[in-house]
């Protein structure tokens, strides 16, 4: 697959066929993804390939509480846990999560409810000792440290495309990080960066829809003229 095609078709996929993915395939994906760009080539990532059914079930349970709070906030018209938001509206929305969970239990469930059945579950961890977090002491929400970890996650998704797979990076389990860390015996110097779910997609991804370049790129100033796409 041409790189330009891969970049235009590697979206978030959460629906997988019940087809197993062999360890050799996962090994090839990780072997390719390890060349991701990262600060100082410190490679501050660790991956736990979760295979044990009991561990998978526990991981799903840790995921669900945050997922229902997420849905409750979306239902209230909020961006869930945005750094800049109306905290009072957020609290009111989250209080409805129990009802969201009750309704979900009455249905067949989706990606979150069946997370334990995803063909490949990769827990992505970040080593705080190796991250140059230049905004560590800033007054605003810190973000820079992720620049040395999340390109690796993106490379996993691109490498999965070369194997005919698809998937998604989800950070929802971070809402219950202490439980996940205990489950996987993660020491204090490592933090949970997300979970990558991979498998054979029920529907092969096609070209995605995004805003044009002129909607987010400007010249010289934030309020400058739109930068034209090539």
pLDDT tens figures, 197-225: 999 999 887 778 899 999 999 999 999 99
Bigger pLDDT: 7 or 114? Answer: 114
| Cβ proximity of 223 and 142 under 8 Å | no
Report phi then psi at 16, rounded to 5. -125, 150
Q: Does domain 3-50+112-215 have CATH number 3.40.50.150?
A: no
Provide the token pair at 203.
Answer: 């529907």
| Cβ proximity of 76 and 93 under 8 Å | yes
Q: Would residue 81 be called left, alpha or beta, if left means φ above 0 and alpha means ψ between -120 and 50 degrees?
A: left
Cβ atoms within 10 Å of 8's Cβ, excluding its own: 14
- What integer pLDDT is reported at residue 204 of this predicted model? 80
Provide the token pair at 230.
Answer: 């090539």
- What integer pLDDT is reported at residue 5 of this predicted model? 86
Cβ atoms within 10 Å of 15's Cβ, excluding its own: 13
Q: What is the Cα 58 distance to its own chain's centre?
A: 18
Residue boundaries of the structural domains of the chain: 3-50+112-215
């Amino acid at each position: 697959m041409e790189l330009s095609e891969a970049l235009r078709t590697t979206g978030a996929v959460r629906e997988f066929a019940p087809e197993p993915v062999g360890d050799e395939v996962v090994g090839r994906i990780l072997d390719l993804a390890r060349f991701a760009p990262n600060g100082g080539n410190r490679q501050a990532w660790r991956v736990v390939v979760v295979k044990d059914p009991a561990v998978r079930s526990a991981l799903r349970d840790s995921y669900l509480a945050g997922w229902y709070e997420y849905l409750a906030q979306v239902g209230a018209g909020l961006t869930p846990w945005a750094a800049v938001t109306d905290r009072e509206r957020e609290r009111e929305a989250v209080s409805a999560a129990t009802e969201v969970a009750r309704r979900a239990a009455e249905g067949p469930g989706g990606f979150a409810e069946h997370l334990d059945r995803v063909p490949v579950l990769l827990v992505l961890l970040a080593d705080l000792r190796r991250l140059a977090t230049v905004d560590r002491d800033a007054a605003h929400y810190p973000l820079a440290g992720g620049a040395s970890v999340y390109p690796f996650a993106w490379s996993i998704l691109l490498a999965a495309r070369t194997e005919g797979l698809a998937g998604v990076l989800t950070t929802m389990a971070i809402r219950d990080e202490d439980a996940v860390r205990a489950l996987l015996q993660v020491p204090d110097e490592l933090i949970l960066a997300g979970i990558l779910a991979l498998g054979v997609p029920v529907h092969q991804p096609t070209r995605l829809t995004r805003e044009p370049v002129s909607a987010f790129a400007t010249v010289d100033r934030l309020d400058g003229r739109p930068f034209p796409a090539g």
